[in-house]
Structure 1
Amino acid sequence: MAPTTFRNMATILILCSVLTSALCCDWLTHYNDLRNSSLVLVRSMVSTDMGPKGPFRADDRIISCGLDENSQLRFIRCSLAHIYNLYRHGNTSAACWDAGKTTNFLESINRQILELDECVSAAGTAPQLVTCVLTRVLLLQGGTDGWEMLRRETEQDLIRLDQLGNRIKARRGQH
């Protein structure tokens, strides 16, 4: 192989590796469908009519405060991980949900977590408000009603996390 060909290939390889790390967060650009499917799935898991929504609300100021982009993405990732673990380790049979929809929901959340792992640095942790509030709801209510309230709160949290992701995309100039 000629030296100039080798240099050209090395230059292209270096350029590709730099661009790959700079553009590594595909979650923002390519996972709109996955984020939407998580919302559709959690909405379709409804088992009973609970009437008005529960009293617990995660504070919207948490997701709109002036954190840097990496911290916001880490918050989204940790929130999704808390939701995933809560449903995965809980006794969802009491909820009377379709097992297939529940599994698909968990897979959708897990795929987002794995994608976000590529986007954020490992340092630091996000606030655990989501898990604390949702666990308290589940422990206080229990049974089908508790799981339904948890599902509704999860839906609201997924909407907020999606809004935060959209704000990050808008700041980047991505649509």
Structure 2
Amino acid sequence: MNVLTTLKPRVHLVPYHIEGGQPSYLIVAGLVFTPLSESLIEDECEESMGLKLMAKARYSLPKFEGEQMVILSQVLANDVNIGYEDMSNQQVLKLNEIKIKNIRHLAHIVDSCNDKYLIFELEDNFLVVMERQAASAETPQILKDYGIACERSPDLSEPYVNSSEIVNEVNENLDGSPVLNSEIDFDGLLWA
């Protein structure tokens, strides 16, 4: 009996290496978004990432090609983001009720948004709410104040193409991961 099979390497949701060497980033009103990567985890140290985010990073597999865990990595303090300046290393789940698929998708949603507010939904039911026009108007000054040349990495200037829409009928539910909120109790222990 002969069996023909194709083996593929395991694809991790959080990559060990970044293609091109530089991570993608998007800055909106001082909020710095980037995909979670192992190099970022090493730079930040695992303790600052939180147990839930680390469990997802270590044990979740992508549900579709191109999926990324996008995080709010830091906030560049400014009047437009008062109250949010201490936030860091939190996963971004939605923007204006649209589930985030990857950093390029987030940039596309920001660019095409016509709503009055930008409402970022983060892990653990945190919300960041900003008036869209004020956020857009203040971003160039924030970049200047912090000596940042561009609000996004060069790879995010290309148009967004949703490659997962072709296969997305099966993957309608993008919520969750193998690690559920109920699996992590108040002591931060993972029940596996």
Question: TM-score with structure 1 length normalisation?
Answer: 0.29
Question: TM-score with structure 2 length normalisation?
Answer: 0.28
Question: Which structure has greater strand proportion?
Answer: 2
Question: Which structure has greater helix proportion?
Answer: 1
**Which has the larger Rg?**
1
